Structure 1
Amino acid sequence: MVVLLVAVALVILVWLGQRWLVYVPDRSAPPPAATVLTGARDVALTTSDGLTLGAWWVPPSAPSRGAVLVAPGNGGNRAGRAGLAEALSTTGLGVLLVDYRGYGGNPGAPSEVGLARDVRAARDFLLDDAGIGAEHLLYLGESIGTGPASALAVEHPPAALVLRSPFTSLADAGRAAYGVPVGWLLRDRYAVADDVRRVDAPVVVVHGGGDTIVPPAQSRAVAQAVRDAGGDVVEVEVPGAGHNDARLAQGPALVSAVADVAARAGVSGCGPVRPR
């Protein structure tokens, strides 16, 4: 009986506390966008459940009319992705750096449902306030952000979907990290491999060959899921790169992949990397 009670208590503890393990936000408010990124400005996103979220917006450079919605990973806040925005903007594309609820001074607590609302609000801002056409909008999800980015792409197909270090599902990522099946305990699922099969847009999968957080085999399986569904997919591996290595997270392989798929998708004015 004691063993049973301990087991039940552990299950309850994991159920209640798992989001503390999944989401690792930097809750501090970032500095003003213009002090960090040339041409950037602070903007507010309004979610369907009434939250106001801070974000950074770097408009596109003429003649480009396209933009990238960045759905970030589970750690830090937008200040830590300034290098990514700067790198992406060299293609001429605009960049929206989103902070989810509970991140970067934003109200609320992160969850799968919440993050889905947050990226929808980001898309609404780009279309309604920034004047970006849906046909010129790309989604870039990194790590856990590949979950909300893929789900958004099913609901609202982008010009292209770029997935950096995607896992097949959060359950599979948990099994890889802890060596035990944890799917039945998870409150959030992020079924990326299932979602990409239904995406009606070109997909790019970029992953690191030395990633020990999301095994490269899972990213390759996401790309294969697109192929199996008859979709358009390009797979790019950065040899030896770890999950958080700068050369994977904001390096030439990722930026070139974004520029290439944007041009192939007909995003106006997007070209090779150029100085700003």
Structure 2
Amino acid sequence: MAMQFLTAAWRLLAVLAVLWLLLVLAAWYFQRQLIYLPDRSDPPLPPGSGVTEVRYTTADGHELTGWFLPAAGEAARPYATVVVSNGNAGNRGDRLPLAKGLAARGYSVLLSDYRGYGGNPGRPTERGLLADLRAAASYAAGRDGVDPERLVYFGESLGSAVVAALAAERPPAALVLRSPFPELADVGQAHYWFLPVRPLLHDRFRTEEHLARYDGPTLVIAGERDEIIPTRLSRRLAEKHADTYREIAGAHHNDSALFSGTEFLDAIDAFLRDSLPD
């Protein structure tokens, strides 16, 4: 009887092991479908918003579309421009409230979109996203009325790793990281603790490694109740690499408080007032 029980137990363990291995293989094969969640539709230009559609080309030949919103008249900070690098989902249309809030506080804003997002051609990868942001920042720096010495990089979630990588190459006047993480494997391990996430990942997004090569002013801002990028990860990154850390009480990852909330936008404005050159 005992032998039969042991045999059944070993069979069960073997089945579970096979199922786990299949899950690991599926996670390895489909990982980019889990990481990148683009809205591929081309968002319509919002009427009466003052937004202009712009185009720029990456080094590997992708023509990308973004939106440019100039600073509001009397509030305008001379030539200060924020280049926005989005999170892993949606497209530039979802970030219009952020752009409007920054423009109302005196900053021009370029809402960039990655390859495969917002009607843009191509498929997203870590290398591709950096190439896309590199092209967006170059476009912004060369635009009439933009001072390249007063260029700000704003990275949201996954985009915080992208702006950190570009900041290590081409330092901005200031860097704003919204809901960042030390590296993507930390986020994956927090959600998929039963998988060997770190060795499986193709795209690493090592924010902390990039920030070690950037020494300019940095703001980290996060939601107190972020369930997607655990707040402790943003806090850990800020302790090592941020000049200023702000936490929005009660805010979850996708709450409007972290896109267009007054406390959120005022914290960015205060940081940039102190950080941008005269």
User: Does the pair score TM above 0.5?
Assistant: yes
Provide the C-alpha distance between the structure 1 equivalents of 2:169 and 2:93, rounded to a whole number of angstroms.
Answer: 29
SS at match of 1:68: strand
**2:130–2:165 CA contact under 8 A, matched in 1:** yes
**1:66–1:267 CA contact under 8 A, matched in 2:** no
Provide the C-alpha distance between the structure 1 equivalents of 2:18 and 2:61, rounded to a whole number of angstroms.
Answer: 40
Q: Which residue of the partner structure matches residue 107 of structure 1?
A: 121
Structure 1: runs of 5 or more not aligned: 227-231, 269-276
Q: Indicate the larger mover: 136-145 or 7-16.
A: 7-16
Q: Which residue of the partner structure matches residue 246 of structure 2?
A: 236
Q: Which residue of the partner structure matches residue 90 of structure 1?
A: 104
Aligned pair 1:185/2:185, yes or no? no
Please report how far the alpha carbon of residue 185 of structure 1 lies from its aligned counterpart in structure 2 after TM superposition.
0.3
Letter in 2 for 1:233: D
Please report how far the alpha carbon of residue 255 of structure 1 lies from its aligned counterpart in structure 2 after TM superposition.
1.4
Q: Which residue of the partner structure matches residue 26 of structure 2?
A: 13
Q: Which residue of the partner structure matches residue 154 of structure 1?
A: 168
Letter in 1 for 2:60: D
SS at match of 1:21: helix
Please report how far the alpha carbon of residue 130 of structure 1 lies from its aligned counterpart in structure 2 after TM superposition.
4.1
Please report how far the alpha carbon of residue 5 of structure 1 lies from its aligned counterpart in structure 2 after TM superposition.
7.2
Q: Which residue of the partner structure matches residue 224 of structure 1?
A: 239
Q: Indicate the larger mover: 258-267 or 166-175.
A: 258-267
Provide the C-alpha distance between the structure 1 equivalents of 2:206 and 2:238, rounded to a whole number of angstroms.
Answer: 14
Provide the C-alpha distance between the structure 2 equivalents of 1:18 and 1:138, rounded to a whole number of angstroms.
Answer: 31
Letter in 2 for 1:218: L
Aligned pair 1:257/2:257, yes or no? no
**1:197–1:225 CA contact under 8 A, matched in 2:** no
Higher Cα Rg, which structure: 2
Provide the C-alpha distance between the structure 2 equivalents of 1:6 and 1:176, rounded to a whole number of angstroms.
Answer: 21
Cα shift readout 1:184-226 (whole Å, capped 9, x = no counterpart):
1001011112222221211000001111111111000111121
1:31 to 44, 57, 82: 44
Provide the C-alpha distance between the structure 2 equivalents of 1:155 and 1:260, rounded to a whole number of angstroms.
Answer: 26
Letter in 2 for 1:213: I
Letter in 1 for 2:100: E
**2:154–2:175 CA contact under 8 A, matched in 1:** yes
Provide the C-alpha distance between the structure 2 equivalents of 1:178 and 1:242, rounded to a whole number of angstroms.
Answer: 20
Aligned length: 261
Report the CA distance shift for 1:96/1:267 in structure 2 as closer, same or farther (over 3 A): farther
Percent of residue pairs bearing the same amino acid type: 43
Q: Relative contact order, CA 8 A, sep 6+: which one is greater?
A: 1
Report the CA distance shift for 1:119/1:173 in structure 2 as closer, same or farther (over 3 A): same
SS at match of 1:44: strand
Q: Which residue of the partner structure matches residue 81 of structure 1?
A: 95
Provide the C-alpha distance between the structure 2 equivalents of 1:197 and 1:260, rounded to a whole number of angstroms.
Answer: 24
Cα RMSD after superposing both structures: 1.9
Provide the C-alpha distance between the structure 2 equivalents of 1:5 and 1:211, rounded to a whole number of angstroms.
Answer: 34
Cα shift readout 1:89-136 (whole Å, capped 9, x = no counterpart):
111110011110000010000110000001000111011134422220
Provide the C-alpha distance between the structure 1 equivalents of 2:63 and 2:142, rounded to a whole number of angstroms.
Answer: 16
SS at match of 1:190: coil
Letter in 2 for 1:126: A
Provide the C-alpha distance between the structure 1 equivalents of 2:117 and 2:65, rounded to a whole number of angstroms.
Answer: 9
SS at match of 1:141: strand
Provide the C-alpha distance between the structure 1 equivalents of 2:145 and 2:59, rounded to a whole number of angstroms.
Answer: 20
**1:167–1:192 CA contact under 8 A, matched in 2:** yes
